Amino acid sequence: MANNQHGYLGYKYVKPGEIIPFGSYPQTGQGLDRTPIKWRVLQNSDNMLLMVSEYILDCKRYHGECVDITWRDCDLRKWLNGEFYHTAFNATEQALIKTTHCTNNGEGSFDTEDQIFLLSATELKDLSDIHGKDMRRAVGTDFAKAKKADGCRLYVYDKTNKDNYIIKNGEEVGCSWWWLRTRGNKPSRAYFVGPRWSIRSYANVNLARDGVRPALMIEFQRDSLYE
């Protein structure tokens, strides 16, 4: 396995804020491609990288029904650690992904152990202090924007406030909102990133408009074969 991981060893030296490819996922409108996923490095510490996807990769409900639910039991967590994990990463990449102990999941919520997760509201606030609030603004891939069979369709801002746009490849693109894992201001709601970088607590968990920016940690073993 060590030899298979040599292609990623340079990632040990990347700096927070850099963008690196890792894994692949459909990103065109038809969803027939396997395009490398771009990740923003948030932390590099002790042979581990914390990363969040640079783009919103998909549009999903936090949970299929508007019921009281926690991050531990929601449909989105199951999808991230099941279908998405197995679709996006090959065996070599999966071996690098560290199981992360997730706390700050909201009032009445249990801690979880996840390969793939969403950032919590607390984590995002702390990271914004380091990287700036601009890291909260995100746009979706064409695949994320495409209407899904289950009715999900990513909301794309199209009004007049310029704070809700990003310049991508020379083009002004409307931002979209994306889920955080933290339970919201009611048990049937979850936090999300909304207009003008804001962190909001009132999204009903069955909303079909919000995007997914997966987060993960990869860990490099302390092994002489890697040096």
- On the 0-12 / 13-18 / 19+ scale of CB atoms within 10 A, 184 is buried
Nearest to 57 by CA among 102, 116, 15: 116
Q: What is the pLDDT of residues 95-116, one digit of tens each?
A: 999 999 999 999 999 999 999 9
With H, G, I as helix, E, B as strand and everything else as coil, classify residue 122: helix
pLDDT class of 223 with cuts at 50, 70, 90: low
pLDDT tens profile 30-45 = 999 999 999 999 999 9
**Least confident interval from 1-10, 51-60, 180-189:** 1-10
Do 154 and 143 meet the contact criterion of CB atoms below 8 Å apart?
no
CA dihedral 87, 91, 101, 191 (to 10 degrees): -20
Beta carbons within 10 angstroms of residue 187's beta carbon: 16
58 Cβ contact list (under 8 Å, min separation 6): 25, 84, 143, 144, 211, 212
Q: 47: how many CB neighbours lie within 10 A of its CB? A: 13
pTM for the full model?
Answer: 0.93
